[in-house]
Amino acid sequence: MNNLEKAKKMLSGSKYTCVLCSDDDIMISIKRGVAPLLQWLDEYENLSGYSAADKVIGKGAAFLYVLLGIKEVYANVISRRALETLESNNISVKYKILVEAILNRDNTGFCPIETAVCGISEPETALKEIRKTIKKLKGE
């Protein structure tokens, strides 16, 4: 079983929201949204060569996967913009469901992170906008 299959299998039927695998090194999270990716970016900076399986990938998460150096991802649900972002950065993508955009948690509109990075094409610029948006959401 390759790393992507291993990550996908661990994600399936579990409480995990995100799983990263590189041979015997496995990282898991139950945090929602982009929180686990930001944490790993802050702690490890680069996880080149890892494979990832994620419940939901919007464009914001896609940019964070690019910055982490992830080589391939699987998503249960992925937005069209996220798919384009990953593919244009040479990250192999597999998914179950492709949607136009990710909805917010109460399904009343679009995800604020995806909305914040909608017109952005550079990962570093996206990271700054993601952090700014999260601060606003937390009322900081």
* Buried residues in 71-110 as b, exposed as e (16+ CB within 10 A): bbbbbbbbbebbbebbeeeebebebeeeeebbbeeeeeeb
CATH 3.20.20.150 describes domain 3-138 = no
pTM for this model (two decimals): 0.95
Could you give the CA distance from residue 71 to residue 131 in angstroms, rounded to a whole number?
23
Q: What is the pLDDT of residue 61?
A: 97
Q: What is the pLDDT of residue 46?
A: 76
Question: CB burial class (10 A; 0-12, 13-18, 19+) of residue 43?
Answer: exposed
Could you give the CA distance from residue 108 to residue 32 in angstroms, rounded to a whole number?
18
Q: What is the pLDDT of residue 58?
A: 96
Q: What is the pLDDT of residue 84?
A: 97
Q: What is the pLDDT of residue 13?
A: 82
Residue-range domain boundaries for the chain: 3-138
Residues present in the chain in total: 140
Per-residue pLDDT of the chain (140 residues; tens, 9 = 90+): 899 999 999 999 889 999 999 998 999 999 999 999 999 999 986 799 999 999 999 999 999 999 999 999 999 999 999 999 999 999 999 999 999 999 888 888 889 999 999 999 999 999 999 999 999 988 87
